[in-house]
């Protein structure tokens, strides 16, 4: 049995707590490794080492920090297959999906190569008689990133790239279910030239999280996960005087208008709802066709597409559309929600509860599942299922569909498929959701914009990556200056030499 480690001061370090969590192979249900769970003392020691390393890194000019990011990006590209295999082995997602996981994180690293431009301050000359003003962005010090299981590479890269490019040291606490990828990324960063101690990877559970939230040296915390935990971390971090950006759950809708290209809409719905086994915070889990004719036509297109999906382990290669869920508990929860959908009266068009794969009977698989005639009072609508389940809620009008989206407690992502520009523009302007797709199913912005949800999908004023990352991971200092270069004597200035 492989025993994993932390990454402290530039090297893999065994845990000292004696506590471990099992790391499973989701396709077989077998334990493939054990990961140490850090104590409060281990967390605090890692933070202290990061605090010792940060001043020199923070004093390194942004151009030199950017060169480390450039080398890091090169190493990620060179090791893409190795990283993707590590993601798939612990998460279960297909290799193409895992490569996408790494790629979307790499794009944020590439944006952070522009740190010198992003960290420029502002200058005002002659704000008053002989008075100039200028601002500068300075690192916070030591920050923390707490990342989820569903993107073992992408979200850790979102956290570490921005924090480090700004001159901070960062403590990364990845999900204990998928710990390996974060360690591999840390080693690549060391190879790229990051000084020892500037990135510490500490594995752990709630004890480690609370230690980070309560440590006075930690100046900011970034989190991605479920809404209850996001709200908890946000509240505790803020009460301890830290900056916090915490992103939670989602219930993403796609409105399908009668004038939409229904074949393209159906393809988009299948990929966005079932891809990565539905374990994406940007997954479209609710289809909202407008009008009975549109809904019936969508069913005709969706059922055969969903039934044709291939489910299996990542080792089956590119022929698999999606893999298992992350744990047995996740599998049981998704199946239980499907049961409740049937009990509540939704029409089950494709049923994934009894899916079984020869040789992988103990894997955490759920087949593709599609409900029609779902209503907003049903649990399968109200809860984030986080599995390969698509619910269809029929609406009579665009106004009713828009109200459904806007009344939902989550506001992460949403989409509309339509051929009418006026409808699309109205939707984009009015909907109270942070990321909007128009004829685009998964509206994750590119790295030079920013990622963040509204309502109960996000807590905090600043979003992830893009320009907001540089704002979040720095503090602004403003200087007002006036120079007295001489003293007036006899009506003339006698200038003094300045040291």
Which residues are marked as active site? 281
Instruction: State how beta strands 252-256 and 347-350 pair.
Output: unpaired
**Edge-to-edge strands, sheet with 369-372:** 347-350, 369-372, 389-392, 284-289, 252-256, 413-417, 435-438
Separation in Å, CA 75 to CA 83, 175, 183, 446, 465? 11, 23, 14, 21, 20
**CB distance 160 to 145 below 8 Å:** yes
Sequence-distant (≥ 6) Cβ neighbours of residue 199 within 8 angstroms: 7, 160, 164, 169, 170, 172, 186, 189, 190
Phi, psi of 358 (to 5 degrees): -60, 130
What whole-number distance in Å separates Cα of residue 409 and Cα of residue 230? 15
Burial of 467 (0-12, 13-18, 19+ CB in 10 A): middle
Reading the block at residue 414, the tokens are: 């949403």
b/e burial code for range 391-411 (CB count within 10 A of at least 16 → b): bbbbbeebeebbebbeebebb
Whole-angstrom Cα distance, residue 51 to residue 169? 7
The span from the CA of 143 to the CA of 244, in Å, is 10
Query: Which segments of 18-92 are extended strands (E)?
Result: 20-25, 30-36
Q: Is the dihedral of CA 354, 359, 362, 363 positive or negative?
A: negative
Is the separation of the CB atoms in 83 and 153 below 8 Å? Answer: yes
Are the C-beta atoms of 157 and 106 separated by less than 8 Å? Answer: yes
Neighbours of 449 (CB within 10 A): 14
Give the pair of three-digit tokens for residue 252: 């993403």
User: CA of 207: how far to CAs of 102, 175, 244, 287, 346, in Å?
Assistant: 28, 13, 19, 39, 41
- Look at residues 447, 418, 416 and name the one whose alpha carbon lies nearest to residue 431: 416
Within 8 A by CB and 6+ apart from 97, the residues are 88, 275, 276, 322
């Amino acid at each position: 049995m492989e025993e994993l480690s932390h990454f402290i001061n530039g090297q893999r370090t065994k845990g000292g707590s004696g506590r471990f969590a099992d790391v499973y192979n989701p396709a077989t249900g077998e334990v493939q490794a054990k990961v140490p769970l850090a104590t409060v003392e281990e967390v605090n020691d890692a933070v202290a080492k990061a605090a010792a390393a940060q001043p020199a890194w923070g004093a390194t000019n942004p151009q030199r920090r950017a060169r480390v990011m450039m080398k890091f990006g090169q190493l990620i590209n060179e090791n893409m297959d190795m990283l993707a295999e590590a993601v798939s082995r612990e998460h279960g997602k297909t290799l193409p999906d895992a490569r996408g996981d790494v790629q979307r994180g790499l794009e944020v690293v590439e944006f952070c190569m522009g740190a010198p431009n992003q960290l420029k301050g502002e200058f005002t000359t002659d704000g008053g008689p002989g008075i100039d003003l200028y601002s500068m962005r300075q690192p916070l010090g030591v920050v923390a990133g707490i990342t989820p299981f569903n993107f073992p590479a992408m979200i850790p890269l979102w956290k570490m790239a921005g924090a480090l490019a700004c001159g901070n040291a960062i403590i990364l606490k990845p999900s204990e279910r998928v710990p390996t990828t974060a360690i591999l990324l840390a080693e690549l960063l060391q190879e790229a030239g990051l000084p020892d101690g500037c990135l510490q990877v500490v594995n752990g559970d709630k004890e480690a999280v609370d230690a980070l939230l309560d440590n006075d040296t930690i100046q900011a915390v970034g989190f991605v996960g479920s809404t209850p935990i996001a709200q908890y971390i946000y509240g505790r971090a803020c009460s301890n005087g830290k900056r916090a950006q915490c992103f939670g759950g989602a219930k993403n809708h796609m409105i399908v208008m009668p004038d939409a290209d229904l074949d393209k809409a159906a393809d988009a719905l299948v990929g966005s709802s079932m891809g990565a086994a539905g374990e994406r915070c940007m997954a479209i889990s609710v289809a909202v066709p407008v009008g009975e004719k549109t809904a019936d036509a969508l069913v005709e297109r969706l059922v055969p597409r969903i039934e044709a999906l291939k489910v299996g382990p990542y080792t089956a290669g590119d022929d698999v559309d999606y893999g298992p869920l992350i744990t047995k508990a996740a599998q049981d929860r998704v199946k239980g929600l499907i049961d409740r959908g049937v009990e509540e009266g939704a029409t089950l068009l494709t049923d994934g509860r009894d899916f079984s794969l020869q040789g992988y009977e103990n894997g955490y698989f759920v087949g593709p599942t599609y409900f029609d005639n779902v209503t907003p009072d049903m649990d399968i609508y109200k809860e984030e299922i986080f599995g390969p389940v698509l619910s269809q809620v029929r609406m009579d009008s665009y106004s009713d569909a828009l109200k459904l989206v806007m009344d939902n407690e989550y506001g992460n992502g949403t989409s509309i498929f339509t051929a009418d520009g006026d409808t699309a523009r109205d939707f984009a302007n009015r909907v109270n959701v942070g990321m909007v797709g128009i004829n685009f199913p998964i509206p994750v912005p590119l790295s030079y914009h920013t990622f963040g949800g509204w309502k109960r999908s996000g807590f905090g004023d600043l979003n992830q990556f893009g320009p907001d990352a540089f704002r979040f991971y720095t503090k602004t200092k403003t200087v007002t200056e006036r120079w007295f270069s001489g003293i007036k004597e006899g009506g003339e200035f006698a200038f003094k030499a300045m040291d």
